[in-house]
Amino acid sequence: MISLYFFILLPILSATLLYLALGKYSKRVAILLQIFLFLASVKNFILVKHSGVITESLGGWKGYVGIVLRADILSSVLVMLTAFLFLAMLIFNYSKMYVDKLFLFLFLVLQALIIGIFLSNDLFNVFILAEISTITISILIMFKKDSQAIYDGIIYLLVNIVAMTFFLFGIGFIYKTMGVLDFGGIQERMKFIEHPRTLIIPYALMITAVSLKCALMPLFSWLPKAHGTPSAPSIVSAILSGLYVKSGIYLFIRIQEMFQGVIDTSELFLVMGLLTGMIGFFLALSQTDLKLILAYHTVSQIGLIMIGLNFPNKYSYWGSIYHIVNHAFFKSTLFLGAGMIIEEYKTRNLWEIKGVFRRMPIVAAASVLAILGITGAPLFNGSISKYLIQSGIKGNALEYGILIINLGTIVSFLKYSSIFWGDSKQSKVNIDHYRSITIITLGLICFTGGVWGQGFIELLFNQQVSIDIFSYLQKAGIYLISLIAGVIIYKKIILKSKWLYRIKEFELDFNNICLSITIFLCVIAVYLAVRYM
């Protein structure tokens, strides 16, 4: 058995070693260590899959004293996903000059912090890891020292500090009430709570912070600034949008499980998920910046995931869990592709980029595979996860909401796909092998995750889900109808609309973001007060 702390310590120790001792060989050594970490994560996953949950108390303390690490099937899959994506990002940027020893140090430390969040079983440890990761990400966003990137990085830092301060206050209330900070210990003591009103304040404080980490409506204003800032390295944007935002969703799952049986807000978060999904694609439609389009679609897909997580149905829940994995792959592919396109065309403006298929065929092909994934095209990974989510809520009004979100996603990516066509007077671009192999591999995973989706869900999560061929073909027909409707909407409305593009100027400053956090907290508290008092 590999100790769980190994997955946290190895990236930190390797980052330190690469920074202090190794010079020109640092990138190669970093990739070798990432391969080793990924293989170790696979072994850990197999052990959890066959033996069940692994709990490890550092120092051998008992009775919920000390640092406890815990690996269940979900956290072990996320650790494996983290190791794979970081390996892919390092290979992708192997030849880039800015990937110096300082960048490698920060990047690998971030990996350790993300894995720590997935494995930690203690609320205060989660708080510490989230705070340090906030600082690390802020530095990575500002790494190229562009003025806009510095502004976006500072906004990200300050907003997340405010949110995690709420989380810390919530931890204080929980410790006063329960006497422990361990997730398992808190869940055990929940049965002794006589009335839910005892936990309204701590729950509201903690879920507000976690909802900001998830970028739920109306707490998503920071996300486009962080994920789509102009000069942030593409691999940073890819990790933030494809992976790091999942740490917020993971914490949401853990917090909801912790309060299960005492406080239930699933109906409220169903509504918030629906609104987040719709507002996300609507704001994406208003953008002309490649990275901002992708960033707002992260918001939209998070809304879809939240719908599945909060609907009381097995298929919807595991469809959302699988969509977390799928989103990591197609969004990473899209951000890497967008970064390469921007780098070559020297612009982020959608309307100024033409002929990508002719100039950068591998990038265009991989991006199209990812687009087919995110829009839920038949045989692609997104179609399986969306099918399961919709199957679980079949007959509910929310099903129409999901159809609207997917239609909006299709329309937005029809607009995005305009960059692939048209004439370009410039010559074909030579792309190095590291980048080509990485991006096409990620794109192909979007396809294999659909063709063998049912098997992957059983392999990864020990969950058997049946996909009815007739029902799946119906969903494929709906996708085709949505695609036709999307083309009509795009050509007749989106291309001719002027007021839509005025919306892209809408942006909340730091004060208004803080105000939205406070309003969200009050809404949660009032909702719980009305329901339980």
Q: Please indicate, yes or no, whether residues 159 and 115 belong to a single structural domain of this protein.
A: no
Q: Please indicate, yes or no, whether residues 72 and 221 belong to a single structural domain of this protein.
A: no
Q: Please indicate, yes or no, whether residues 58 and 164 belong to a single structural domain of this protein.
A: no
Q: Please indicate, yes or no, whether residues 108 and 197 belong to a single structural domain of this protein.
A: no
127 part of a folded domain: no
Is the per-residue pLDDT at 117 higher than 70? yes
207 part of a folded domain: yes
What is the C-alpha separation between 479 and 397, in angstroms, rounded? 18
Q: Please indicate, yes or no, whether residues 334 and 427 belong to a single structural domain of this protein.
A: yes
Among 69, 86, 121, the domain boundary falls at 121
Q: Please indicate, yes or no, whether residues 261 and 356 belong to a single structural domain of this protein.
A: yes
Taking the model in full, what pTM does it have? 0.94
What is the C-alpha separation between 450 and 307, in angstroms, rounded? 21
Q: Please indicate, yes or no, whether residues 290 and 200 belong to a single structural domain of this protein.
A: yes
What is the C-alpha separation between 206 and 288, in angstroms, rounded? 35
Is residue 275 classed exposed, middle or buried when 0-12, 13-18 and 19+ CB atoms within 10 A define those classes?
Answer: middle
Give the CB-side neighbour count of residue 450, counting CA atoms within 13 A: 25
How many domains does one find in the chain? 2
2 part of a folded domain: yes
Q: Please indicate, yes or no, whether residues 117 and 150 belong to a single structural domain of this protein.
A: no
Candidates 456, 342, 483, 438; CA nearest to 388 is 456
368 part of a folded domain: yes
141 part of a folded domain: no
138 part of a folded domain: no
Q: Please indicate, yes or no, whether residues 183 and 298 belong to a single structural domain of this protein.
A: yes
**Torsion angle defined by CA atoms of residues 243, 401, 209 and 519, in that order, rounded to the nearest 10 degrees:** 150
Average pLDDT over every residue of 324-336: 94
pLDDT reported for residue 86: 94
pLDDT 10s digits, 398-446: 888 999 999 999 999 999 998 988 776 677 777 888 889 999 999 999 9
Q: Please indicate, yes or no, whether residues 191 and 107 belong to a single structural domain of this protein.
A: no
Q: Please indicate, yes or no, whether residues 15 and 84 belong to a single structural domain of this protein.
A: yes
Banded pLDDT at 287 (limits 50, 70, 90) = confident
Banded pLDDT at 528 (limits 50, 70, 90) = very high
Range of the domain at 59: 1-121
307 part of a folded domain: yes
135 part of a folded domain: no
Contact 312, 378 (CB under 8 A): no
Q: Please indicate, yes or no, whether residues 164 and 94 belong to a single structural domain of this protein.
A: no
